[in-house]
Chain A
Amino acid sequence: MNWKLAFGIAITHLVTKKKQSVVAMLGVLFGISMFIVMISFMTGVNQFLEDMAMDNTPHIRIYNPVEVKDEKIISKAGTGNNSWYVVFHQRPKNDLAKIKNGLLIADKIEKMPEVRGVAPMVSSQVFFNNGPVQIPANISGIDVKKQDALFGLSGKMDDGSLDDLLKGSDDVILGKGLAQKAGVHVGDRVNVTTPEGYNITLKVVGIFSFGIVSLDDSKSYATLATVQKILQRDPSYITDINIKLNDMNKATEIKSELKAQMPGVYLEDWQEANASILAGEKIRNIMTGVVSFTLLLVAGFGIYNIMNMNIVNKMKDIAILKATGFQGNDITAIFLLESLVIGVAGGLLGLLLGFLFSYLLSITPFPAGTFFRISTFPVNFLPQHYILGVLFGFITTLFAGYFPALKASKIDPVIIIRG
């Protein structure tokens, strides 16, 4: 087959029917550009939500859950036939929260090659007192340097400084919402009560916000030593070990490895902790797929219709070409090339327009309110989306052009020429 000749004829057809060609191309152009914008924005949102959640979520968390053991203690009472069973319900023990040898375990895990860092933590429920009102909250004793390295805490500070925690004892930083409820600012003192009834006054040295209301309303951080002191525990008392990995997708694998080494503790990976976010992401991905597919399908039908019409208009020409010796596959090649030229040109321009729209969206201010740490719409710019866009455009037009082209190749010249 002579592709060069077929291409020459195809281009002549397209150029002489400029308006029709442009309309067909616009269909592909809009389809692909909307696809790019959609997928860039959707994955941008997913990325943003994931980052926001993952910033505060360890890849693997080790802790001792407060759980009631399922087996019951049963004792037999009485003797002989005159006997009965007594069932006692177990109650959780008070010291369950402690991870035995916590600091040692943390050191050991930190030496594993897959691990980026480990941050030990002491966590407890406390009450912040604002006059007579008690505000329930959570205080975490952290290794400030390690916590900052893993969770970027210093980047979340609205006021004051994270490093001030290290400068003295009895210092605390509060979540934005919590500080508001407790009515304190940086430099103020705040009274804290533990569940055991111990009372202490801490100095507020900083205010942070994660952009997640539930956290900002309830979380506060102090040094490990400070929280251990509040809880009246020894310096080896650790309730959580937070682990970040070099590759977060290996979490499940490493979790089971650790599980085998430490049967006594409970491990949770980020997938379990963020099941709802992951489900949301999945749904958004499906939605993006469906909308993109529909856009391309509509563009494809546009091309199909125009090519069909084109072939009906060109019946006589096709008959002439066949009479003068052009074969069925030459005719198929001509019309297939026409739709491919439309598809590739529309696709490439679509990428350009899609990039432009995505860029405009990415610099559009986003009214997220004060809590979100975001000022413009989150948009991703990933080369694979653009490659996918062109590929989709190409395949759609190939299909949309193929059937009319096949029809054209089957036209019987005699019927047309006889009239």
Chain B
Amino acid sequence: METVLKASNIVKYFNEPEPFQVLKNVSFEVGKGEFLSVVGKSGCGKSTLLYILSTMDTDFTGDLEIKGERLNGWKQNALAGFRNMHLGFVFQFHYLLPEFSALKNVMLPALKLGKYSEEEIEHRAIEKLKLVEMDEYSHKLSSKLSGGQQQRVAIARALINDPDIIMGDEPTGNLDKSNSQRVFDIFKQLARENHQTIITVTHDKDFAAGSDRIVEMQDGQIIRA
């Protein structure tokens, strides 16, 4: 299996309120099309690890390679461009822009990328919304949608630029059983059919059990990969 993401010897300290080592030499690899769940107790450092993998947190030591590119020392703007092109995010608290319609929310990262014309982007965005069965709400203001609906729109947004990796920070943490199942099915489908890599941090045991591989963390270390 082709390796998409490779993290080696990741070490991260928190300086506030007092120096504390969150991640202790974390190393692992993720392959293309893999559906990976990172589990562990609160405070074990799994979210911190995810934000380092997401390139948003650059304050760490160790090597991070995504799609063969070594990302250490890149400038913020370059990393933003990289995220725009190769990474998609789904957060626990859906975080759509409340002033924009569902469709516009999905379109924004693509408009930023500027690879396609606006009509093309709109067409693709509707395709993505169809995939998460939200196309009939596409012109609704995102703040008027229910939690489960918002999460599905957020997944559509994460997919819009056809990223290689989709990262989720407790994507089902705020959802009921049926909505959780829906999100899980979508992720599973993406990994199977599009061969996109899924990395999620989750507390949800059923969700983790259904994924291809579980990485368990404890006290800043991987205890089971």
Contacts and interface: CB of A to CB of B under 8 A. Distances in A.
A413 interface: yes
A252 interface: no
Given A325-B81, A325-B84, A418 B51 contact: yes
Interface string A151-166: 0000000000000000
Contacts of B26: none
Contacts of B91: 417
Given A12-B100, A324-B89, A327-B76, A5 B83 contact: no
Interface residues of B, number: 31
Interface stretch (B108-116, B174-182, B186-194, B217-225): B108-116
B57 A5 contact: no
Contacts of A330: 112
A326 B112 contact: yes
- Chain A interface residue count: which class? 20 to 34
A273 interface: no
Given A2-B111, A326-B112, A418 B97 contact: no
Given A2-B114, A5-B112, A414 B57 contact: yes
A189 interface: no
Contacts of B56: 322-323, 413-414, 417
A188 interface: no
A319 B56 CA distance: 10
B47 interface: yes
A413 B58 CA distance: 11
A116 interface: no
B95 to A, nearest CB: 5
Residue among A13, A320, A325, A419 with the most chain B CB within 10 A?
A: A325
A411 B10 CA distance: 24
A413 to B, nearest CB: 5
Interface in B30-55: 47, 51, 54
Contacts of B109: 324-325
A325 B113 contact: yes
B82 to A, nearest CB: 8
A417 B169 CA distance: 10
A99 to B, nearest CB: 79
A418 B52 CA distance: 12
A13 B104 CA distance: 13
A317 interface: yes
Contacts of B152: none
B157 interface: yes
Nearest to B167: A323
Given A2-B114, A12-B100, A413-B56, A325 B95 contact: no
A324 B83 contact: yes
Contacts of A101: none
Interface in A342-389: none
Nearest to B47: A418
B54 A320 contact: no
Q: Chain A contact residues: over half helix, strand or loop, or mixed?
A: helix
A327 B100 contact: no
Given A12-B99, A320-B97, A324-B89, A5 B111 contact: yes
A229 interface: no
B85 interface: yes
Interface string B86-101: 0001010101111110
B51 A414 contact: yes
Contacts of A417: 51, 56, 91, 95, 169
Nearest to B101: A12
B112 A329 contact: no
A316 interface: yes
A44 interface: no
A59 to B, nearest CB: 63
A65 B56 CA distance: 86
Contacts of A13: 99
B117 interface: no
A330 B91 CA distance: 22
Contacts of B84: 324-326
B33 to A, nearest CB: 23
B99 A324 contact: no
Contacts of B57: 414
B220 to A, nearest CB: 16
A136 interface: no
30 contacts: A2-B114, A9-B108, A12-B99, A12-B104, A316-B95, A317-B97, A319-B95, A320-B97, A321-B97, A321-B108, A322-B56, A323-B56, A324-B84, A324-B108, A324-B109, A325-B80, A325-B109, A325-B113, A325-B161, A326-B84, A326-B112, A327-B77, A327-B80, A328-B80, A414-B56, A417-B51, A417-B56, A417-B91, A417-B169, A418-B47
Given A319-B95, A323-B89, A325-B81, 11 more contacts: A2-B114, A5-B108, A12-B104, A316-B95, A321-B108, A323-B83, A324-B108, A325-B113, A328-B76, A413-B56, A414-B51
Interface of A: 2, 5, 9, 12-13, 16, 316-317, 319-330, 413-414, 417-419
Interface of B: 47, 51, 54, 56-57, 76-77, 80-81, 83-85, 89, 91, 93, 95-100, 104, 108-109, 111-114, 157, 161, 169
